[in-house]
Amino acid sequence: MQLFRSSLIVALGLVTFTLAAQTPKAAPAHKTTTVSASDQAALTPPMGWNSWNYFAGKVTDQDIRGAADQIVASGMKDAGYVYINIDDTWEGQRDANGVLHTNSKFPDMKALADYVHSKGLKLGIYSSPGPKTCAGFEASLGHELQDAQLYASWGIDYLKYDLCSFIPAVMMKQAPNDKAAQMKLMIGAYEKMHQALKSTGRPIVYSLCQYGWDSVWEWGPSVGANLWRATDDIQPNWNSIYTLLNEQQGLAKYAAPGHWNDPDMLEVGNGKLSLGENRVHFSMWAMLAAPLLAGNDLPNMKPEIKAILTNSDVIAIDQDKLGHEATHIYSDGEVDVWARHLSGGALAVAVLNAGSDKTSNHPFHLDLAKLGLHGAQKGKNLWTGKDVELTQNMPIEIPDHDILLVRIAAPK
């Protein structure tokens, strides 16, 4: 899918990201927003699990049931993970009346939804505004209302709507040489499904997946989006995670209760990520107020991965009710410092060592003044659970690809 999209991007000249090149030094002014009915579905970033990052096209009904069982058994449900989301490849064919059926991997979606709900969890599903999904399965073009009603009848609680084939089938076909018209068509398609979902009367979290095109963070809330992918697909490796993280610079002011920037689903526990890299990934997604959708093999989750995914102090940063996303404050060599304002006047500070050993940052000296802090600051190290005191220019030893995450309850 990556290839499919990349070649289209080149063909269309559709490189429309407007990520700020400059990094904000202070917390940005947040937009004052009123909380609409659709915002209510995601007043804090959605938390759960999605099938794609581990199962991709192989996912079955049994895998989804297994994930639901494990979310409960592992304590992840108690830690806040609620959505069990089926990604691409559940779709079958439409019948003579246009009603979409599931394929043989998902024999009875209503029964599956009932099962997931019986565990106190919610069920998510996936489609595309084009004729086909990214994996080439049947999608919603021309059947938006019918599909929304079908989802509601099954008891679906979350929809990820992935642009994919809408690009060649509609945007390129109807407006081959007009980028502005293509973007209008795209926004119209997302609004169409928004209205369709709204008309069902069922609260359904609406997750846009169009890779950040046309500064989606600016118009996402106007089409009812609770979250929007701000990036291309994540991969379970350091380069991907660190790249996506840095693409978030400049987007903080667009996050607020009800609608969130989505730097893509978690890869914690996947690939060959080291424990430090998993900690950086989870910490920084929490700092970014990102949706926390785990994507690992839950039945075979190692205890140290479970400990990361269920760290309640880190989750509390992500779920902080103010909904202020972290900003990058400064970098020194390969060490980055980010900060996030929290409710009650608290501050979360992340010091991340992205070291590739090209530059030596051992030890790193933290400049509290750059964070607007004066004098010694008492805080809690959220990965050791221990109290810490941060002082001006104190030497801090952070291994490469690891992080110091501190919550300062009363910053001075």
Taking CB under 6 A as the criterion, the residue among 134, 309, 326, 390 binding ligand GAL is 134
User: Per CB under 6 A, does 162 bind ligand GAL?
Assistant: yes
Kind and range of the H or E run holding 49: strand 47-50
Concatenated DSSP letters for 386-397? -EEEE-TT-EE-
Q: Which residue has the tokens 């051992």?
A: 362
The β-bridge relationship of strands 205-209 and 402-408 is unpaired
Counting every residue written for the chain, the total comes to 412
Return the range that interacts with ligand GAL (CB under 6 A); candidates 27-35, 41-49, 128-136, 288-296. Answer: 128-136
Taking CB under 6 A as the criterion, the residue among 61, 63, 87, 277 binding ligand GAL is: 87
Among 159, 164, 252, 350, binds ligand GAL (CB under 6 A): 164
If binding is defined by CB under 6 A, does position 334 make contact with ligand GAL?
Answer: no
Residues 1-40: x where in contact with ligand GAL by CB under 6 A, - otherwise, as a string: x---------------------------------------
Measured from the CB atom, the residue of 230 and 337 that comes closer to ligand GAL is 230
Nearer of residues 88 and 157 to ligand GAL, judged by Cβ? 88
Question: Minimum CB separation from ligand GAL for residue 54, in Å?
Answer: 12
Q: Does 88 bind ligand GAL (CB under 6 A)?
A: yes
Q: Which stretch binds ligand GAL (CB under 6 A): 97-105, 108-116, 131-139, 269-277?
A: 131-139
Backbone angles phi, psi at 253, to 5 degrees: -70, -10
Q: Which residues pair with 331 in a beta bridge?
A: 336
135 binds ligand GAL (CB under 6 A): yes
Among 39, 191, 233, 367, binds ligand GAL (CB under 6 A): 233
Q: Which residue has the tokens 């429309």?
A: 16
Tell me whether residue 57 or residue 372 sits nearer to ligand GAL (CB atom): 57
Half-sphere exposure of 139 (CA within 13 A, CB side): 26
Which CB, 57 or 333, lies closer to ligand GAL?
57
Q: Report how far residue 377's alpha carbon sits from residue 379's, in angstroms, rounded to the nearest whole number.
A: 6
By CB under 6 A, the count of residues binding ligand GAL is 11
Q: Which two tokens stand for residue 253?
A: 């002011």
Residue 5 near residue 309 (C-beta atoms within 8 A): no
Contact pick of 14, 47, 48, 52 for ligand GAL (by CB under 6 A): 52
CA distance 234 to 265: 7
The DSSP secondary-structure symbol of 132 reads B
> Considering beta carbons, is residue 63 or 334 the nearer one to ligand GAL?
63
C-alpha separations of 297 from 67, 238, 239 in Å: 8, 19, 22
Q: Cα separation of 207 and 227, whole Å?
A: 5
What's the min distance (Å) between Cβ of 241 and ligand GAL? 15
Of the ranges 59-67, 69-77, 105-113, 132-140, which one interacts with ligand GAL (CB under 6 A)? 132-140
The stretch near ligand GAL (CB under 6 A) out of 112-120, 130-138, 166-174, 181-189 is: 130-138
Residue tagged 């209510």 (tokens):
40
* Orientation angle between helical segments 144-154 and 179-200, nearest 10 degrees: 40
Contact 407, 342 (CB under 8 A): yes
- Which residue numbers are catalytic? 162, 233
Q: Which residues contribute to the site for ligand GAL (CB under 6 A)?
A: 1, 52, 87-88, 133-135, 162, 164, 209, 233
